[in-house]
Amino acid sequence: MFRSILAAAFIAGATATAFAQDADVVLAVTDVEGLEQLQQEFGAVEAALEASTGLSVELFPVSSRTAAVEAMNSGQVNFVLTGPAEYVVMKELTDAQIVVAWQRPDYYAQIVALADSPIKRAADVKGQSVSFGSVGSTSQHLGPAQALADLGLEYANDYDAQIIRRNVAIEALIRGDIAAVGMNRGHLERARAAYPDVAFRVVARGPDLPNDILVAAPDVPANVFEAVKTAFVDDGEAMMEAVLVGEDNDKYEGGFFLSSVNDADYDYVRDMYRTIGVPSFSAFVGD
């Protein structure tokens, strides 16, 4: 059985390498695991990108953010769609080049407390317990921590910073075990729907977060790079229609593909890493 598994893994790896050799564009998405899910969510994007550019496009599944970096550095993929927190590490490890940003409307981090609690503003969390979600998440961990830092509260010093899965954290908030929870706007909307009898209050809100971003390997031919960029800029409406076929891509609804974006736009994310005590960007937090 072990030999069969090893052979299957070898065949899968060989197939993935063949994709990178045979297709002009080999696209990975860092927050989608497994080829089946990737095809469900981005199969329409693959087809639309081929139609717009005339290039051959293949989807390439990766199991993690680290795997995406390894795949790019080994030549298995040449384009990756990733989030802002992941981008700053990918830039450091691969020298990936920005193609276009994928805007997520109303994408910001906030600190949420109960409306009838003593926590009325950000300063009130001092000395209290504040929960954050997935380690390294832009909108559940880094962003909320930075929102407090922007208001003068030092991470894990002015308050007790805890990492608790969001749904569990909301229950703990309602019980009074913690004072506040870091989350994004969509998470708060879902919390209000799940607990219609509970009143929540936003006590801190950060600026709109940097967008998700499509990056290319540094050795992508100029004509391929420009063709892909042009597809999203000039055929943006058709490309967004394809993106929204994916059920989990509704976070992009109402957004745009932005070409006027540069690496410095992600310095705010680098500040977030420093805020939580990570001064370098050579590894993904939480991996």
Q: What confidence tens digit (pLDDT) does each residue in 89-136 have?
A: 999 999 999 999 999 999 999 999 999 999 999 999 999 999 999 899
Cα-only R_g, the chain? 20
Percentage of the chain surpassing pLDDT 90?
A: 90
Instruction: Give the integer Cα–Cα distance in Å for 71 and 66.
Output: 9
What mean pLDDT comes out for the span 211-236? 97
Q: Please state, in angstroms and rounded to a whole number, the distance separating the CA atoms of residues 153 and 126.
A: 7
What are the extents of the domains in the chain?
2-105+210-275, 108-208
pTM of the model: 0.88
Question: So what's the pLDDT on residue 3?
Answer: 37
pLDDT surpasses 80 at 238: yes
For tokens 């290319």, the residue is 216
Distances (CA, A) of 35 to 14, 25, 52, 236, 270: 15, 16, 23, 25, 31
pLDDT (tens digit, 9 = 90+) per residue, 154-210?
A: 999 999 999 999 999 999 999 999 999 999 999 999 999 999 999 999 999 999 999
Contacts of 38 (CB under 8 A, 6+ apart): 29, 32, 59, 60, 61
Per CATH, 2-105+210-275 and 108-208 having the same topology is answered yes
pLDDT at position 131 is: 98
**pLDDT tens readout for residues 136-146:** 999 999 999 99
pLDDT of residue 198: 98
Paired tokens of 126: 């001092």
Whole-angstrom Cα distance, residue 270 to residue 85? 8
Q: Where are the beta strands (DSSP E) in the chain?
A: 25-29, 57-59, 79-82, 97-102, 108-114, 129-132, 160-163, 180-184, 200-208, 212-216, 257-258
Q: Out of 1.20.120.80, 3.20.20.80, 3.30.470.20, 3.40.190.10, select the CATH number for domain 108-208.
A: 3.40.190.10
Give the tens place of pLDDT for each residue, 68-80: 999 999 999 999 9
For the chain, what is the mean pLDDT?
92
Q: Is the pLDDT of residue 6 over 60?
A: no
Contact 137, 82 (CB under 8 A): no
Query: Residue 21: which pLDDT band, with cuts at 50, 70 and 90?
Result: low
State how far the Cα of 207 lies from the Cα of 140, in Å rounded to an integer: 14
Q: pLDDT per residue over 208-220, tens digit each?
A: 999 999 999 999 9
Superfamily for the 2-105+210-275 domain: Periplasmic binding protein-like II (3.40.190.10)
DSSP 245: T
Helix (H) or strand (E) holding 120: none
Is residue 11 pLDDT above 60, yes or no? no
Q: How far apart are CA 48 and CA 42, in angstroms?
A: 10
| Integer angstrom CA distances of residue 73 from 21, 182, 285 | 14, 34, 19
